[in-house]
Homo-oligomer: A and B are copies of this chain.
Amino acid sequence: MTETTTAGEAFLADFRSMSTFGATLGGGVERQAATVADGQTRNWFRGLVEGHGFEVRYDVVGNQFALLELAPGAPFIALGSHLDSQPLGGRFDGAYGVLAGAHAGIRLKERIEASGETPTFNIAVVNWFNEEGCRFKPSMMGSSVFTGELPAEHALATTDPQGVSVATALEAIGTHGDFTLDVAAYVEIHIEQGRSLEDDGLTIGLVESTWGANKYEFVVHGEQAHTGATVISDRHDALLGAAELVVAARDIANRFSTDEYMVITSCSELNVFPNSPVVVASRVNLLVDVRSTDPDVLAAADAELHHRVAKIEQSANVRIERGAEHVWAAKAYDAAGMELAAASADALGLSHGVVRTLAGHDSTNMKDIVPTIMLFVPSAEGISHNEREFTNDADMLAGVDLLTEVTRRILDGEFVQR
C-alpha cells in the first residue's frame, strides 16, 4: 500500500535520524520548547527540507515554515504539527506529523515537476512552536499566536519556571523571525494517543471534532506552620486543600461520565511551597482540567468542580484562588474535509473510521481560521507522553501516503477554492 519502497524507506530513515535529537535512554525524546534539543531538531529539519528545495522562514513566536513554492503568488496549503516534546516524551507525538508533511511535500514536488503542470496552491510544512506547553504555558502557543487567539507579546513575555522568557529562549536557539504565511487550508496528521483505532483494527482516524476542555490554574493558600508543633485545628494546610481538589476532580470524572458522554479530569502539575518536611504548606499551585465530548455535560462537570472548590475551602480551612483559565469549546472539523480524507483513504485501500480527539492539537486552533483536516494513525495501546509511545512503520507509511493523497487533491482544488 505504500507509495514506493524507496520513498517509504527515505521517510523511515529520516524518522530515525530525527529521533536521535534529545533521545532518551528509554527510547523516547526530551525536546521541550526552545531548549537546546528543540533548537537542534529545528536546525536538522531545516537542513533536511532545504536539501529538497524548501525555503525556511520563522515568524515572531518561532513557528517554523518550510515553504515549497509551486505556484508563485498563490496561497499556501499548510501541513503541520510540532517537533517539541514532553519531558521523557515519545518520539512520534508531533514529530511524526511534521516529517510526514515534509515527505508529502517532497513527493508532490517530484510529481508536479514531472508533470509540468502548475498547481492551484503552494505548500508550507509547519513546525508549530511549543505545542506541548510543559516549559511555557499554555500549550499550542505557536498556533494560538498564529491564529490570533493569543497576543504575540503575551506569548513572548511568558516565562518558564526558571524565569526565562519565550523571547529570550527563542533568541538563544536563534529560530524566530517576522515571516507571515498566507494560508488557505490546513492538514495535520498525528498519532492517535488513544486506543480506539487499535481496538477497532483501523489504520486511519478521520477526526470529527475536538473535545471541549476547561483548564484552570488554582492557587491554594494556607498558612506556614510547624508540622510537629501545630495542632490540627490550628492548621491551614494548603497541601491538604490541593489533595482534596485532586481527589474531587477524579470523583467528578467518575460521576459525570455516562455510556453516551465521557468526562475526563486531570491534575498532573502541582507545586508545594515551601515544600519542607516540617513546614505546613503555605501555598500550592496546581492545574486542573475538565474535558468532555458534550458541551452540556462539560458545563455540569465544571459547575460541580467549582462547587467542590468552595466546599474544600471550608473542609481544609484554606482559601482557593482561581488564576488563569484556558477554555476550548468542543468544535467540529470541516465535514467536506472529512469526506475528502475518506475518499482519499478509500482510493489507497486504507481502512478508516471517524474519531474524536481528546487531546488538543494545533489543528484545534487552525480550524478556527481556515478549512482544516485532522488525521490520526494508531498508537500502540494508546500510550503517549511516555517513552514507550509507539506507532509501527506500516501505519506511519500509510499515514504519509494518505497525507500525500489528501494534499494532492487539495492542490487540485477539491477542498478550497483560490
> Which A residues lie at the B interface, using CB under 8 A?
86-89, 93, 132-134, 137, 139, 192-195, 211, 213, 215, 223-232, 234, 237, 239-240, 242-244, 246-247, 250, 253-254, 257, 262, 264-272, 274-282, 287, 289, 291, 357-360, 382-387
- B279 and A267 contacting across the interface, CB-CB below 8 Å: no
A224 and B257 alpha carbons, distance in the complex (Å): 23
**Which residues of B sit under 8 angstroms from A280, Cβ to Cβ?**
266, 268, 385
Complex: chain B residue closest to A242, CB-CB: B243
Main SS class of interface, A: loop
User: Whose C-beta in chain B lies nearest to the C-beta of A280?
Assistant: B268
Closest beta carbon of chain B to A360's beta carbon, Å:
6
Contact A134 B277 (CB under 8 A): yes
CA distance A387 to B274 in the complex (A): 12
Q: Is the CB of B275 within 8 A of A193?
A: no
Beta-carbon contact of B277 and A287 below 8 Å:
yes
Q: Output the least CB separation between A152 and chain B (Å).
A: 21
Whether the pair B234, A382 counts as a contact (CB closer than 8 A) is: yes
Q: How distant is A126 from chain B, measured CB to nearest CB, in Å?
A: 20
Contacting residue for A232 out of B244, B247, B254, B271, CB 8 A: B254
Flag if A226 contacts B88 (CB, 8 Å): no
Query: Across the interface, do A250 and B240 meet the contact criterion of CB distance under 8 Å?
Result: yes
Q: Which of A223, A276, A280 has the most CB of B within 10 A?
A: A276
Bound CA–CA A56/B27 (angstroms): 55
A257 — nearest CB in chain B belongs to which residue?
Answer: B232
- A192 engages B247 (CB within 8 Å): no
> Given contacts A232-B264, A240-B247, A243-B246, could you give 8 more A-B pairs where the C-beta distance is less than 8 Å?
A86-B276, A88-B274, A134-B278, A229-B382, A232-B253, A237-B250, A240-B250, A268-B275
Q: Is the CB of A225 within 8 A of B384?
A: yes
**Which of A215, A253, A275, A291 has the most CB atoms of chain B within a 10 A radius of its CB?**
A275
A86–B274 CB distance below 8 A: yes
- Tell me the complex Cα distance, A88–B276, Å: 11
- B279 lies within 8 A of A268 (CB): yes
The residue among A87, A264, A279, A282 with the most chain B CB atoms within 10 A of its own CB is A279
Q: Which residues of B contact A240 (CB under 8 A)?
A: 246-247, 250, 267
Partner of A264, one of B231, B257, B264, B384: B231
| Cα separation A253 to B268 with both chains bound (whole Å) | 27
Known contacts A247-B244, A250-B232; decide if A275 and B266 are in contact (CB<8 Å).
Answer: no
A244 to B240, CA, bound (A): 10
